Structure formats: structure tokens, C-alpha cells
A and B are shown apart, each in its own frame.
Chain A
Amino acid sequence: MNELPADLRYTKSHEWVRDHGDGTLTVGITDHAQEALGDLVYVELPSAGKRVEAGETCAVVESVKAASDIYSPLAGEVIDANAVLGDAPETVNQDPYGAGWIFKLRIADRAALDALLDAPAYTQTLADEA
């Protein structure tokens, strides 16, 4: 497995979160998640303006194998979604932490970020699952 970016936060459901420090976050799925799903063939993106709770289904990725829900890591409002994935869902497989991001979120409460996992804690989660 590739090493985890240390500057990201993670969830037990295998999303990653990039904190932009201004109340906005970028969310994607981890390298582990994309590998487990296999080749992605469809991504259902949320619309900007959608309000979501922490843990609420916010997007769906479908691989050749199955459909899988992507959960919002925190409560907030969707402000953008990665339109590139409409034509090129495989971008998530190719670059899960970069061009394969899925949506952006504006959060009300920055303190909630503390509830997310850091890279060592997510690594432990993966080890516990294995």
C-alpha cells in the first residue's frame, strides 16, 4: 500500500478530508477504498447547496463490482462537486488524493474536525480491518 498523506484527515468509512483552514473541506475516498472497490464506472455527485449531516450519504460511487455510498465526514453544505468524474470516474482510481476528489463542503463548526482520524489512526483502522 502507498503511504497515507499525513496532511489529511480520515474516516472509518474510508473517506479522506483536506482542511483548507477557511471553513471549507475537500472530500474523497482513500487509496485503500478505491482499490477495494475496483475500477470505477460511475459516480453520482451531490448538488451544490445540499445540506448534509455527519455520516449522511452524500455521493455514490459504482465500480464494475458494486455500488458504494460515500458519507459526508461532517455536517455542512456542499459547495462544489468534481464534474470531471462524470465522464472520467476512473480518475478516482488513478489519483484518489488529487484529481479524483469528490466534493467540497463548508462546515459550520471547525472544532468538529477533531473528531476525524489522523493518518496514524486511520492506518490502525486499516490494520484492524485486515
Chain B
Amino acid sequence: MASKTPLFAEHQRLGARIVPFGGWDMPLHYGSQLVEHHAVRRAAGVFDVSHMRPLDLDGDDAESFLRRLLANDIARLSDPGQALYGCLLNDAGGVLDDLIVYRRGPNRYRLVVNAATADQDEAWIRARAAGHAVAIDRRDDLAMLAIQGPTGRELASPILPADLRAAAAGLAPFRSAEDGGWFVARTGYTGEDGYEIMIPSDDAVALWRALLAAGAQPCGLGARDTLRLEAGMNLYGQDMDETTTPLESGLAWTLAWEPANRAFIGRSALEAQRAAPTGRRQVGLLLCGPGVLRPHQVVLNRGEPIGEVTSGGFSPTLERSIALARVTGDAGRNASLAVEIRGRQIPVRCVRPPFVRHGQSRIDLSDS
């Protein structure tokens, strides 16, 4: 039986198409995924992301424990409210999950992990926390909304509790503020400005309705996926999983190698792989012929398979098909790359993600 967020009845009332996702019944779209996508690029959209799971870690050992647990280094979080994206790795350097960690205060942190992996993550973290002075609180009592888009913060501001409004308005990117059980972060998964707001479940319907009344477009998981793909952001389980390392998944930038004596889980395996690379790496692709790139399509260089698409789809902003792919070795010169679509080799060009940021194309579409 799939879980339902506190906003499930709201989605039904709006006529959403509901799909199972990570053990939850979630809205895919409310009529048109393209309309929802463009609303976020051009104005503001709101997403119910209450399936994402906050885990609060508190205690005298919280900082030292997280410095061991995560491949990125939370010692980089000097200010209260600061956020960091990173990976939870297994001993082999495989990615168990990607997450955001917020520093709430000295030895007080909040992790937000993916829905499908939340149970496994929690068990993994609890097992490794044994013997450390750190309490782990799974926050099933919280709902989470993401208001995203160029007008999103301005639209949300008057709706926030008065005591939180000024602090939220002053947030720099990747910073958060909280008050009275409400937690507002200037983070997101769309490549646009905006807030992610965690609130007690009982407050979710009122906040959702207020954001819609203020003009935010309700957006489903469909638009969330095309927006994050355009933004060049990985999706766990698709672009990386336990069988791939951050080095093979375009996530090398999330690895904090310094200080060299920080023995995070997976470090020794990653150091070995850094010294003797597997040759597998993530690239961005732009389709230069008919069709749509989809996960698991084979990427070829001069007719030889070199990898496969991990995330692919139609970019509503570029009106082109784009993808993230994992390939082995030199992806070759642009002229020789192709993807096999229904038995035909269609040319693609290797590009560096992101494809789109803040409503603007970030890649050259001219020669293809």
C-alpha cells in the first residue's frame, strides 16, 4: 500500500494524474507537464515533495559522525543554516543515496534523503551511528513543498509566518532559516531560484492553497524530472546507484578530498579508483536528429557501443532532446557520436551540463 502525503486529497481535487513513485502515490501532472515546466522557468511553480524524508541528527558527536558518514565535508558548513549537497557511499565507493545536509546549529543537522531509499538510508546510518553520541530522528511528521521559479520567493514571502519572513527574504543560495517548526531553505531541484519549505504536516494544506491562490502553478513529478534534467542534476537510481561511484556519475565535485586525513566511508575505494580510473564517466548529450533520448539507449562512437543513456527526455525549454549518459573512455569527437533509437543510429553531440539555468539555454544549439 503506497503512502500518501498530507496533500493527496488536494492533488485529487485538482485532477492530478497520480502515479506510484518510491513507495508513494504522487502527482505526475495536473493536465500538462509542459505548461508546468514553463511556469517554473518563467514564473513560479509549487511541488509537493513530502515524499522526501528529513532525518535530524543531533548530539555531541553529530559533526564528527557526519564527517565520517558523508563524502562531502560538512565542516565546510561554517554558518548556521548553511546547506551542502553530497553522497552517502558504501565501503566500495558506490552511491547509496544523494542528499542535502543543512547545518541547524552546533552538532545539529538535518539530512533530506530520497523517498525510495529512505528506509535503507536510515538503517545504514543507524548501524554506523552505534556507539556515537548522536540521536537520529526520522521526521515523518513533516511535509515539504518546493516553490520554484524566478517569481517564487517573492510570491511565497507574504505567506510565510511573520517571524520567518525577514530571515527567509535575506537568505543567500544554499542557506536556510527556521522558526516555530517551519524550515525554509533557498534550495531546489529545478535550476531556478526558489525555496524548499518543511512544515508540520497539519500546516501543509493551508500553505499549498495559499501558494496556489498567490498564483503558483501546481507542478507534478513529470515537470520536476524535465526541469532537473535540463539543470543537469542527477536522479538517484537512474544516473547513479550502488554500482557506480561519484567519479563515474558526474559527482566528483561533491567529493571533499581535503583534509587528506578525513576517513569518510568509501574514501579508500575512491582513492584507488582515482589512481586507476575505470574510464567510466558522465557526459551530457544533445540529440541532433529525430526522436527522443530515453534511459538505457546505447551510445556509440564510430559504431562501437561506449555506454548508455541514464536520463533522457525532451527539453521543453530547448525544444530538443537531451540526456545524461555514462560512457567509457574518450567520448570522441562530436561528429562520430550516435545513440541507437529503435534500431537506427541518430547523431548526438557531447555537451557539458547544465543545459538550462535560470530560464536560459547554456549550450550552443546552432550547429545541430
Question: Footprint of B on A, CB under 8 Å?
Answer: 38-39, 41-42, 44, 60, 62, 64-67, 90
Is B292 touching A62 in the complex (CB atoms < 8 A)? Answer: yes
Task: Assess whether B334 is interfacial by the CB under 8 Å rule.
Answer: no
Instruction: Sort A-B residue pairs by CB-CB distance and give the 9 closest, nearest first.
Output: A41-B314, A62-B292, A39-B34, A64-B33, A42-B292, A39-B33, A39-B32, A38-B33, A64-B314
| B226 partner residues in chain A, CB cutoff 8 A | 64
Question: Footprint of A on B, CB under 8 Å?
Answer: 17, 28-29, 32-34, 222, 226, 290-292, 294, 313-314, 316, 321, 342
**Option from B17, B34, B294 in Cβ contact (under 8 Å) with A67:** B294
| A38 partner residues in chain B, CB cutoff 8 A | 17, 28-29, 32-33, 222
| B294 partner residues in chain A, CB cutoff 8 A | 66-67
Is A65 touching B292 in the complex (CB atoms < 8 A)? Answer: no
A103 CB to closest chain B CB (Å) equals: 16
Classify the secondary structure of B's interface with A. Answer: mixed
**Option from B290, B291, B313, B342 in Cβ contact (under 8 Å) with A64:** B313
B262 CB to closest chain A CB (Å) equals: 42
A8 to B314, CA, bound (A): 32
Is A41 touching B32 in the complex (CB atoms < 8 A)? Answer: no
Is B291 touching A44 in the complex (CB atoms < 8 A)? Answer: yes
Query: Would you list 29 pairs from A and B whose C-beta atoms are within 8 A, ordered by A residue?
Result: A38-B17, A38-B28, A38-B29, A38-B32, A39-B32, A39-B33, A41-B292, A41-B314, A42-B290, A42-B292, A42-B314, A42-B321, A44-B290, A44-B291, A44-B342, A60-B342, A62-B291, A62-B292, A62-B314, A64-B33, A64-B34, A64-B222, A64-B226, A64-B313, A64-B316, A65-B222, A67-B292, A67-B294, A90-B34
B348 CB to closest chain A CB (Å) equals: 15
